[in-house]
Amino acid sequence: MSDNITKYPVENTEHENAAAEATTKADERKAREDTLKKVEEIVTQATIGTLKLAAPFKSDGIEITELHYDFKAVTGVEFADAMDSDFSRKSDSFRITGKQALALFAVAVEKCEEHVDKQDVLRGLSVEDAVAAIQAATLFFRAASQAGSLRTSRA
């Protein structure tokens, strides 16, 4: 056996450590981008839809049997107003109450329905339909919040 063979492992050089760190960061960035794509698909699916009403109601003398909604049409100020609709709760940007979700849904409907305004939605929905509306708005809120977090750089 040769005396030139080292019995101990050779430590990585600074160059090798930097390369490994860069690879790890690239892998993390790729994983983040992949997650963002998946979350944005959910946001897209949750953004626009139709709620077929279990209990139709009237608006401007017209019977409303379904409500179309579009959360992307809601402006930032309208979103903030919907979030401000529940004064019983302290501000929490990571959660949405039922009251806030219903207010957000009502605004999203108002953007799509010519004969229905947000007050018609808030007053006209049955409990069963309100539950579905709150679920739709909550799904959108959670997915959009996660997508926003993934798009935000912290460096």
Identify the three-state secondary structure at position 66.
strand
Identify whether the C-beta of residue 90 lies closer than 8 Å to the C-beta of residue 17. no
- Which range (43-47, 81-85, 142-146) has the least confidence? 43-47
For the residues 3-29, what does the mean pLDDT come to? 64
The reported pLDDT for the residue numbered 58 is 93
Q: Is the dihedral of CA 126, 82, 77, 92 positive or negative?
A: negative
Rounded Cα distance, 127 and 129, in Å: 5
**pLDDT of res. 91:** 56
More confident residue, 147 or 118: 118
Do residues 67 and 132 lie in contact, with contact meaning Cβ atoms separated by under 8 Å? no
- The reported pLDDT for the residue numbered 82 is 93
**pLDDT tens, residue by residue, 19-32:** 666 678 777 878 87
Instruction: Report the share of the chain in percent with pLDDT over 70.
Output: 81
Q: Token pair for residue 2?
A: 């040769």
Q: Whole-number mean pLDDT of the chain?
A: 84
Higher pLDDT, 68 or 8: 68
Residue 117 vs residue 87, higher pLDDT: 117
Q: Half-sphere exposure (CA, 13 Å, Cβ side) for 137?
A: 27
